[in-house]
Structure 1
Amino acid sequence: MKTKIKEKATDMFLNYGFKSVTMDDIASAIGISKKTIYAEYNNKTALIEDCVMNKICAINEGIDSIIAKGKNPIEELYEIKKYVMSHLKDEKTSPQFQLMKYYPKIHENMKSLQLSKMQKCLLSNVERGIKQEIYRPNLDPEFIARMYYSGINSIKDQNIFPVDKFPISKLMDDFLEYHLRGIVTKKGKDTLNTIINSNQQ
């Protein structure tokens, strides 16, 4: 029952927002009593924390499987972005923004997990890109990895990028292109343009 509650709650939180969805809503959607949920979780915060951490672990596993394919580093970043976007339904409610605003401790824990994971992935990506001569040789991989991670988190701030003016899917695309154009070589630029053109068709 706990797994069923967690799966349904995660889907509802991502679709409608962490603040908007109540325990009554979740119980009604599953067809159980609210008491049954409280038998598994002491409160809504505990349920949200379990949902968030479970989702992060699932996304991390997916990222690992993408990296294991050994793709071109530019293609890899685009595939990871596409994969993450398919799991986080940010377009509707920007759940991470709600998480940051209403459940800051959970958001901080999530960021800590993300930072640890993304630093390794991004560092490896930059180093491989330099070796393959699609990223500039004079880059500091640690700096580039941290700048990219920092930028990804900044564009999720709706105070800076209100969702009505900057739809999240386009914002992610624009940011990734912005990042890559600053670090690619001529060879990398050709690869980047090919990917962007194929995505627009």
Structure 2
Amino acid sequence: MSDNAKETSNRAELRDRIIVRATEAFTSHGIKSITMDDIATSLGISKRTLYEVFEDKETLLREVLLKNQADKNEFLENLLAKSTNVLEVILVCFQKSIELFHKTNKRFFEDLKKYPSVYNMMKNNRDKDSESTVAFFKTGVEQGIFRDDVNFAIVNLLVREQFDVLLNTEICNEYPFLEVYESIMFTFIRGISTKEGAKVLEEFIHEYRKNRIERTGNNSPGLINN
């Protein structure tokens, strides 16, 4: 390997390490409380080296979110390749999102709004995702899992608004975050499901809650980090 190729490879490896470390720090403690100094120190590199790779914290945050989106897309593609049942895909994604919420400090979502360009990028990506989501639900109609009398564009918009309420109000001061999240998801899926779909959903909920009780030793949904 030539010196230039080796340097390029080392720089790419460093870039990936920085993104991984920043992701862990931002999601665990929130974005505002983590400085570029913190990230550089935790990686054992100088702040100058960090700034040579990412010009500022906002640029780093943008790359963290883009990497997260790419990972989600890859996970979904692999999942779709293995399953032909739309509802099963949705429920596996639900479990995956629960795992992520367990690892994410609510301040992370609150802090995102303090970076308007990054926040708007997320919203634009979400708008693009909505089109594929609606098409995905229509596939569920063809499979007999979801009702054929539902306007999925409207329903999808309403669910998105409910998640915005979840993140932007004080409801989680009164109820556990995951309990609210589960209520939104399960109520939504129940409402659009046929009898066949509802049966699959209830079997999933039964196993999901059974496994949660076995993990926690009680019936209380886990709380997101404060």
Aligned to 1:39: 52
Paired letter, 1:161: I
Aligned to 1:141: 152
Q: CA deviation digits over 1:52-94, x for unaligned, max 9?
A: 1121121122122223323432222121122234345565334
The answer to whether residue 116 in structure 2 is matched with residue 104 in structure 1 is yes
Given the two structures, how large is their TM-score scaled by the length of structure 2? 0.78
> Counterpart of 2:42 in 1: which secondary structure?
helix
Structure number with greater Rg is 2
Aligned to 2:16: 3
When the two structures are aligned, how many residues end up with a matched partner? Answer: 197
Given the two structures, how large is their TM-score scaled by the length of structure 1? 0.86
Structure 1 pair 106–146 and aligned structure 2 pair: CA distance change class (3 A)? same
Whether the aligned pair in 2 keeps the contact of 1:130 and 1:136 (CA below 8 Å) is yes
Whether the aligned pair in 2 keeps the contact of 1:60 and 1:117 (CA below 8 Å) is no
Whether the aligned pair in 1 keeps the contact of 2:159 and 2:184 (CA below 8 Å) is no
Match of 2:171 among 137, 158, 161: 161
Structure 1 pair 168–66 and aligned structure 2 pair: CA distance change class (3 A)? farther
State how 1:36-115 maps to structure 2 within 5 Å.
36-87=49-100, 89=102, 91-100=104-113, 102-115=114-127
Separation in 2, partners of 1:168, 1:69: 31
Deviation at 1:124, TM superposition (A): 3.0
Paired letter, 1:126: F
Kindly, what percent of the aligned residue pairs are identical?
A: 23
Deviation at 1:105, TM superposition (A): 1.7
Q: CA deviation digits over 1:82-125, x for unaligned, max 9?
A: 2234345565334222202x1122011012112312430x2233
CA RMSD of aligned residues (A): 2.1
Match of 2:142 among 121, 128, 131: 131
Moved more, 30-39 or 66-75: 66-75
Structure 1 pair 84–119 and aligned structure 2 pair: CA distance change class (3 A)? farther
Match of 2:186 among 177, 186, 189: 177
5+ residue gaps in structure 1? none
